[in-house]
Structure 1
Amino acid sequence: MPTFIKGRYEARFGESQDDIKAAQTLRHRCFRGGDGLDEDHYDAACRHILIEDRETGALVGCFRLMPLENGSRIGDSYSAQYYELSALRTYNAPMIEMGRFCIAPDAQDGADILRVAWGAMTRYVDREGVGMLFGCSSFQGTDAAQYFDAFAMLRDRHLAPKRWLPRVKAPKVFRFAQRLRRKPDAKQALRAMPPLLRTYLLMGGWVSDHAVVDHDLNTLHVFTGLEISAVPQTRARLLRAFTG
Structure 2
Amino acid sequence: MKPLSKGRYTVRVAQSGADRAAALTLRGLCFGAAGGVADAFDAAATQVIVENVQTCAIVATFRMALLDGVQLPQSYAAQFYDLSALTAYPGSMLELGRFCIDPALSDPDVLRIAWAALTAYVDEAGIKLLFGCSSFQGTQAAPYLDAFALLKARHLAPARWSPQIKAEHVFDYALELHDKPDLKQANAAMPPLLRTYLMMGGWVSDHAVIDHQMNTLHVFTGLEIGSISPARKTLLRALLS
Report the identity percentage. 56
Q: Which residue of 1 aligns with 2:76?
A: 78
- 1:60 match: 59
- Equivalent residue runs for 1:34-183 within 5 Å: 37-68=36-67, 70-109=68-107, 111-183=108-180
> What is the alpha-carbon distance in structure 1 between the residues aligned to residue 187 and residue 148 of structure 2?
10
8 Å Cα contact 1:49/1:63 also seen in 2: yes
Q: Is the 8 A contact 1:152 1:176 kept in 2?
A: yes
Deviation at 1:22, TM superposition (A): 1.6
One-letter amino acid of the counterpart of residue 148, structure 2: F
For 1:213-239, what per-residue CA distance to the aligned partner results, in whole angstroms no more than 9, with x for missing partners?
Answer: 001111100000000000011001000
CA distance in 2, matches of 1:205, 1:90: 19
- Corresponding residue SS for 2:160: coil
Give a deviation string over 1:129-187, Cα, whole Å, max 9, x none.
00000000000111101111000100010000000000000000000133212410111
Which residue number in structure 2 is paired with residue 32 of structure 1?
32
TM-score by length of 1: 0.96
Q: Which residue of structure 2 lines up, in the alignment, with residue 5 of structure 1?
A: 5
Return the alpha-carbon distance in structure 2 between the equivalents of residues 3 and 242 of structure 1. Answer: 14
Greater Cα shift, 11-20 or 208-217: 11-20
CA contact (8 A) 1:72 1:91 kept: no
**Is contact 2:153-2:179 (8 Å) kept?**
no
Q: Relative to 1, partners in 2 of residues 1:188 and 1:37: Cα closer, same or farther, differing over 3 Å? A: closer
Count of matched residue pairs: 241
Equivalent residue letter for 1:105: P
When residues 5 and 177 of structure 1 are mapped into structure 2, their CA distance, relative to the original with a 3 A threshold, is: farther
| Alignment correspondent of 2:15 | 15
Amino acid at match of 1:104: D
Match of 1:143, SS?
coil
Is the 1:152–1:177 contact (alpha carbons within 8 Å) kept by the matching residues of 2?
no
Q: Deviations over 1:49-108 (max 9, x none)?
A: 11010111111000000111x212110100000000000011121110000001112224
User: Does 2:215 correspond to 1:218?
Assistant: yes
Q: What stretches of structure 1 move > 4 A for 4+ residues in a row?
A: none
